[in-house]
Amino acid sequence: MTRRMLILICLVSTTICLQSQEANYDESAVPDYVLPELLVNEDGSKVKTKDDWEKIRRPELLGLFQQNVYGRVPDGDFSQSHEVLSHEQNALGGLADRYEIKITIDKNDRVLSFNLLVYLPADAKDPLPVFMGLNFNGNHTIHPDPGILITESWVRNREIPPIRNNQATEYARGMAASRWPLKFILERGYGLATIYYGDIDPDYDDSFQNGVHPLFYGPGQERPEDDEWGSISAWAWGLSRAMDYLVTWEAIDPGRVIVIGHSRLGKTSLWAGASDERFAMVVSNNSGCGGAALSRREFGETVKRINTSFPHWFCRNFHDYNMRVSELPVDQHMLIALMAPRPVYIASAEEDRWADPRGEYLSGYYAAPVYNLYDPTVLEFESPDIDSPVNDMRIGYHIRSGGHNVTKFDWKQYLDFADNNLAE
């Protein structure tokens, strides 16, 4: 063997070794872990009834997630106004009414606006159920409809379709349409509402100088306190501000607004659903670490890794657990439990090992005891086969074949689950 070959072999094996050190994908190497007790209050007493849960344990857990994971929204009044920017009847060839509403937040002489895009099935008679979720690249990317305004906010540069200078253009119109099967959703009798998440807080680490955070700074404050909101909490807060508007809209049923999100925006939909109980149902699509996946399994993406790659997503205190996940006072099954008794759907994808599909399933499994306080028939269920959804209980789950994405298959399950759980 030549010296060059030897060096090459060493290099390749070092790379493989380093990669495998980065993330564990071996079920047998998942550390032994003990989850924090879901149904034991901080004073050691047991949670026996839904009253105990609602009055004591739920507020405790919500506070622990605020303090240690996502960060609390700072106190303080702000004013909020709404302006209908456009309304087109007979959009999509007569299938829908399309609206764009500018929501403006005003605080401390600073202003932030974000655009809510809403499609409602045409000619609906009764107040409608609506799915609401944030999108990754601008409202104009969710459908080729030429009437959708192109976002003026910062967007991530990319090669295809080309986005330069962090400025959205016509090129990207409809580029994410496969993730938002609008016609399918409307034909099932649901509306769709969406906001570009970058309108609320651009998704890069700028020490919280842009987006909504600076509106809430006190005199001399330059970044959120250690227990105050990171970007996920800010995005979730934006969803709640949109909800403030939806609940005033006669055509929409305020008791049937469903919050949905994929990946980092699935982490966001879960946190929005936990912090704002007006959301009647919650959908987590491939949300992974910091979303539905149990942190203590350290399978795929870990707390340390996510806080290193995305230092702005969670509150500062969460970083303290990078090397001591077992000391976190919560784990993500508790986040799922915060939805109870509202229906929650967790979706995984077989090839999305980075998001730990088994950890996502297990958080639903371990949340079931809280649902049982309301309805003893919500039993823990075995992890189903690939492409075999469980959608007939208050906790829904599937693991789809394929990778990290949102597909029409996923949407079909969410629509069926909503029909099963939120029917009038």
Question: Which is nearer to ligand GTR, 264 or 342 (by Cβ)?
Answer: 264
Task: Output 231 or 413, the one with its CB closest to ligand GTR.
Answer: 231
Per CB under 6 A, contacts with ligand GTR among 356-385 are none
**Cβ neighbours of 10 (radius 10 Å):** 10
Distance in Å, CB of 277 to ligand GTR, minimum: 25
Indicate the residue among 186 and 232 with the shorter CB distance to ligand GTR.
232
For ligand GTR, the closer CB: 289 or 325: 289
CB of 40 to ligand GTR, least distance (A): 30
CB 251 within 8 A of CB 242: no
Q: Return the structure tokens found at 309.
A: 């790659």
Residue among 98, 264, 333, 342 that touches ligand GTR (CB under 6 A): 264
Q: How far is the CB of 404 from ligand GTR (least distance, A)?
A: 7
Q: How far is CA 321 from CA 176, 226, 234, 317, in A?
A: 35, 13, 21, 8
CA dist 372 and 94 (Å) reads 44
Contact 401, 257 (CB under 8 A): no
Nearer to ligand GTR among residue 306 and residue 340 (C-beta): 306
Among 263, 284, 295, 302, binds ligand GTR (CB under 6 A): 263
Residue ranges in 293-332 that form contacts with ligand GTR under rule CB under 6 A: 301, 306, 309
- What count of other Cβ atoms lies within 10 Å of the Cβ of residue 155? 23
- Total of residues contacting ligand GTR (CB under 6 A): 7
CA angle 297–36–33, rounded 5-degree value: 30
If the CB atoms of residues 302 and 372 are measured against ligand GTR, the closer one turns out to be 302
**Closest approach of ligand GTR to the CB of residue 262, in Å:** 7
Give catalytic residues, as residue numbers. Answer: 263, 404
- Cβ contact 176:141 at 8 Å: yes
In total, the chain counts a number of residues equal to 424
**CB 142, min distance to ligand GTR, A:** 16
Q: How far is the CB of 310 from ligand GTR (least distance, A)?
A: 7
CB of 289 to ligand GTR, least distance (A): 5
Which residue, 173 or 264, is less far from ligand GTR as judged by CB? 264
Q: Which of 289, 292, 393, 406 binds ligand GTR (CB under 6 A)?
A: 289
Among 261, 288, 359, 364, binds ligand GTR (CB under 6 A): 288
Strands 79-90 and 395-400: unpaired
Among the listed residues 281, 278, 299, the one whose alpha carbon sits nearest the alpha carbon of residue 363: 299
CA distance 241 to 254: 14
Q: Which residues bind ligand GTR (CB under 6 A)?
A: 263-264, 288-289, 301, 306, 309
